[in-house]
Structure 1
Amino acid sequence: MDFSFLFYFLLLGALTGIFAGLFGIGGGGIMVPVLTFIFAQHQFPTEHVLHMALATSMAAIVPTAIASLRAHHQHNAVIWPAVLKITPGILLGTFAGTFVASYLSAKPLAIFFSCFMAGVALQMVLNRKPHASRQLPGMIGLSSTGAGIGVISALVAIGGGTLTVPFLVWCNVSLPVAIGTSAAIGLPIAISGALGYILNGWNQINLPDYTLGYVYWPAVIAMACMSFFTAPLGAKLAHRVPIPQLKKLFALLLLGLSIQMLITVFGH
């Protein structure tokens, strides 16, 4: 592995940590399209490039999520009862979603990823206000919601924030607290997703060296080293940037990433 290869992972990890803390998204939405591009440029097997990007992203989200949730917890911006209620559904849905993703080829996954991200961006731009009386659902409602978030998170290797943040805001949770709570929910998503992708890629042939299942560990370690330190910086920014600007930045980020994913996958 040449130094430039490792440098890309370190830089990506630093940026991912900032965005993870800032938007509570775990960082997968950033890592997947960029890792897909890097892996493709380094001639990794075409049939495995996107699955490796998804798996590697999930594994790298674990330390990022830990750093991000700690920082948001220090700002009293995590609704822990909601995190505990939604986690069982998150674990089940994410693990099941990795099996679905492993049987899909790169192009359908890329189309789903891009359409999903663009849809969430549109929702944030429209800024529809929830009913004033709407509140978080109970155990069954949160667990069911968690299962759905988990499945989609596994398919696009996100920490869940692109779904969890809009859902919490829809339930009249303030945006900074929604971001902090989403950061905490991203941890069980990442753990379950990484294990699922390791299992699904266990017997695959023609994978590069230093992989376990679909997870490419040099990228995980390099990105995690940087994101663990930069995620708290992003979390601080999340509590200082005005909410309208925060929503616009979130939407622009998602839209740009959805376009980049399509260009990378359909360009090879």
Structure 2
Amino acid sequence: MKNNDGNLIFEHKPHIASYASVVGKKEGEGPLRMFFDRIIYDSYAGKDTFEQAESELMSTAVRVALNKGDYSQQDIDLACCGDLLNQCVASSFAMRSYAIPYAGVYGACSTMALSMILSATAIESGAAKRAVCAASSHYCTAERQYRFPLEYGSQRPPTAQWTVTGSGACVLEKDNGFRVARSKRKTDAKGSNDLSSPVIKAPADQHPFVDTQTEKAGEQSQSLFIHSARLGRIVDFQITDQNNMGAAMAPADVK
């Protein structure tokens, strides 16, 4: 890995071998609904609190990502995960059942990107061969954490944003010839994808990856990889409106 004036250049280009997304009811009603792996219509996700529900979102996203890539938890060397709650409680409780070395990451809206950068750095250095990255948020937990509990019944101003209820997860691994991950989803008689079943490892002669060199001429690899990254600097633009997160984050997009 090289550092070019603050830009981290990944020479081995860690690639995204598998990924998954789990969202709530509002997100499941939007234009991207067909691209989500799971839509959970219960805001509590069958739990007692919104915080427990957010943890369940991440746990599900990680499980689906592992199953789609045909991985077991023993295949993962590192988990970099985070959320918006104090002490990253949603992600820490989500990962307690996986027994994977875990690093909690708090980067607010940059949590997923930061998790991938840190994981890619670990893979590039040889500290890990494969890592799972995940981030989550929940509208109801974020309102209680940053503004007012929903039970308070406060009126939302026009500038207020709506925090996503959902979680995303991906598996990063060292690139070996731009391998392409094949989904190992099981299909039942009705044709639906069953991703909740235990992971079944593929036989040796049916490895879930193929080298791009063996693909047909003209076909391009579908493997996404991390070429480079740049960590931002803290710049205070004196934005004090807690309901206008857009104004606080806009300068990062402009730069």
TM-score normalised according to structure 2 size: 0.33
**Which structure is higher in helix share?**
1
Task: State the structure with bigger RCO (CA 8 A, min sep 6), 1 or 2.
Answer: 1
**Which structure is higher in strand share?**
2
Which structure would you say has the larger Rg? 2
TM-score normalised according to structure 1 size: 0.32
